[in-house]
Amino acid sequence: MLVEQILSAVGVIFEPYSLLLLAAGVALGILFGAIPGLTATMGVALLIPLTFVLEPAAGIVMLVGIYCGGIYGGSISAVLVSIPGTPSGMMTTLDGYPMGQRGEAGKAIGYATISSFIGGIISAIILIFAAPYLAKIALQFGPVEYFAIAVFGLSIISSVSGDSFVKGMISGVIGMMVTVVGMDYVTSTPRFTFGTVALLAGFTFIPTMIGLFGMREFLLQVGTENYKYQVEQKVDKVIPSLSEIKKLMSITIRGGLLGTFVGALPGAGGPIASFISYDSARKSSKHPEKFGTGIPDGIAASESANNGVTGGALIPMLTLGVPGDGVTAVMLGAFMVHNLRPGPMLFQNNADLVFSIYVGLVLANVLMLIFGLMGAKLFARILNLPMEILLPFISVLTIVGSYAIRNNPVDIAIMIGFGLLGYLMSELKLPAIPMVLGIVLGPMAEANLRGALLISKGSWLIFLTEPISLILLILTVVLGAWPFLSGALRKKQELEGNTTSE
């Protein structure tokens, strides 16, 4: 049965139309990832409206291609200008840029490309075999368990809040407040519409995301005018030898496994995965002092892990409807456009789509390998492309994309409004991803909370008497408290270190 479904999905994805869309998605993803500021999240947000006119499988697989290409693309700017195009490429700069400065930029990009491919393939294989089993377990869930899952998902705000947990919580609460605008789920009573008919359906998800990521970035780039990069390194000899690849295989496989595991933890994401993998490779190395001086091991550890996150992050999104990272949170919008709800029923009612995503993820990594090795010189030149050309194009995409979903001018106003809100949040150092989590998981939490309380006749003890719910709530408390615990532990270690030195 599994083989038949995979073969059927292969037939769908290898149709010229779908294959072309996937290839275009990977190429655009690399472009968005390679240029600092134009992240994979932004690329997915801007191009979701295009999926409205496509078949669900073709449209969503194209976004998967953007996701894979975007995460990898960050390594190109990390090597060439020491600025990661995506946050997950941060650790790649430590060894990639020094290699580039030594005249080995092409080889550094080659190591990054092959490591990204191996990490992505490992994560795709694990996704294919792990997701169906998790979906079967999730079929037993009811409102109580789904409320606990939503709360657990919201608790990861602590992991994606950056330097300030309080600011992350403020951003998350703003996101949840956004979701209460419109008709009440149970009573159909208008909430916070202020008599405006256009707000009865609430704030449309796609224009909201386009505003938060597309228009916000446009305003930030225009406001700072700090977008000129000059690539001086010569990019050649991109493909490493077979013996060089073999030397890095153990680090790459371990990075792919670590990345997949971290990606499957909602909210952890590429930056955490690449840091853990890099630190693990350094500690297990015979020459840890060489890390950070420009060695292939550091590049392989970082890139295999952050691309391993791609398949891992799709596991909770597809099986539970809880996004694994910021990109998959935005990607949920593509499912909404086609009236699809990720979760265990997706595997029951839309198995063909799920298997198309499996095949698309594998093929996206293959195309990423080909484009990365064959087109490294081209993508390096794109870094020199003036933003004066790109920014007007991005602004047009935000307007057209917002309008295209419902052909409603109100959506353009929503997009601009959230773009201004995103810009203001950036100025106040409020992270955007917690807000996205609030918007995505807020309705899930509210609807299932009310459903669970109806079942229990108003008793909150139902959340503590159900085993799965209790475990998830305990994990929520642990995850929410972790930033404070780790901060206190770090301060204690620093104090002990200072005492010892004295």
197-216 pLDDT tens trace: 878 888 887 788 788 877 88
DSSP assignment string, 336-355: HHTT---SHHHHHH-HHHHH
pLDDT at residue 340 in the model = 84
Which residue is it, tokens 């001018």? 409
Element of type H or E holding 191 = strand 190-191
Q: Please check the confidence at residue 190 and state whether its pLDDT lies above 80.
A: yes
Binned at pLDDT 50, 70 and 90, residue 351 comes out as confident
Q: Tokens standing for 263?
A: 């990606």
The most confident of 234-238, 342-346, 405-409, by mean pLDDT: 342-346
Q: Please check the confidence at residue 31 and state whether its pLDDT lies above 70.
A: yes
State percent of the chain over pLDDT 90. 11
The tally of CA atoms less than 13 A away on the side-chain side of residue 386 is 3
Asked whether the beta carbons of 31 and 317 are under 8 A apart, the reply is no
pLDDT at residue 224 in the model = 65
Please state the domain extents for the chain. Answer: 2-501
Asked whether the beta carbons of 324 and 314 are under 8 A apart, the reply is yes
Q: Tokens standing for 296?
A: 């292939």
Asked whether the beta carbons of 322 and 476 are under 8 A apart, the reply is no
User: Among 22-31, 144-153, 301-310, where is mean pLDDT lowest?
Assistant: 144-153
pLDDT at residue 6 in the model = 74
**HEC assignment per residue over 73-94:** HHHHHHHHHCCCCCHHHCCHHH
pLDDT in tens, 386-395: 667 777 777 8
Q: Please check the confidence at residue 66 and state whether its pLDDT lies above 60.
A: yes
Binned at pLDDT 50, 70 and 90, residue 369 comes out as very high
Please report, to the nearest 10 degrees, the dihedral formed by the alpha carbons of residues 252, 330, 436, 317 taken in order.
-60
b/e sequence 472-502, b meaning 16+ C-beta within 10 Å = bbeebeebbeeeeeeeeeeeeeeeeeeeeee
pLDDT at residue 290 in the model = 82
Asked whether the beta carbons of 225 and 432 are under 8 A apart, the reply is no
pLDDT at residue 341 in the model = 83
User: Among 29-43, 172-186, 352-366, where is mean pLDDT lowest?
Assistant: 29-43
pLDDT (average), residues 273-283: 81
pLDDT at residue 495 in the model = 65
The whole-angstrom separation of Cα 87 and Cα 37 is: 10
pLDDT (average), residues 182-196: 81
What residue type is 48 in one-letter code?
Answer: I
Sequence-ordered list of residues with C-beta below 8 angstroms from that of 301, at least 6 positions apart, any chain: 91, 115, 251, 252, 254, 255, 274, 277, 278, 280, 281, 282
pLDDT (average), residues 267-281: 75
pLDDT at residue 451 in the model = 87
The most confident of 67-71, 287-291, 481-485, by mean pLDDT: 67-71
Higher-confidence residue of 139 and 446: namely 446
443 burial (CB, 10 Å; 0-12 / 13-18 / 19+) is: middle
Asked whether the beta carbons of 264 and 153 are under 8 A apart, the reply is no
Q: Which of 1, 10, 43 is nearest to 366 (CA)?
A: 10
Mean pLDDT of the chain: 81
Higher-confidence residue of 73 and 493: namely 73
Asked whether the beta carbons of 326 and 269 are under 8 A apart, the reply is yes
The whole-angstrom separation of Cα 168 and Cα 158 is: 7
Q: Please check the confidence at residue 178 and state whether its pLDDT lies above 60.
A: yes
**HEC assignment per residue over 260-286:** HHHHHCCCCHHHHHHHHHHHHHHHHCC
Binned at pLDDT 50, 70 and 90, residue 230 comes out as low
Q: Please check the confidence at residue 227 and state whether its pLDDT lies above 60.
A: no
Which residue is it, tokens 């997915």? 44
pLDDT in tens, 408-437: 888 888 889 999 998 999 888 888 878 877
pLDDT at residue 22 in the model = 92
What residue type is 53 in one-letter code?
Answer: V
Q: What is the separation of C-alpha 199 from the centre of its chain, rounded to a whole number of angstroms? A: 29
pLDDT (average), residues 233-243: 76
State percent of the chain over pLDDT 70. 88
The whole-angstrom separation of Cα 440 and Cα 157 is: 12
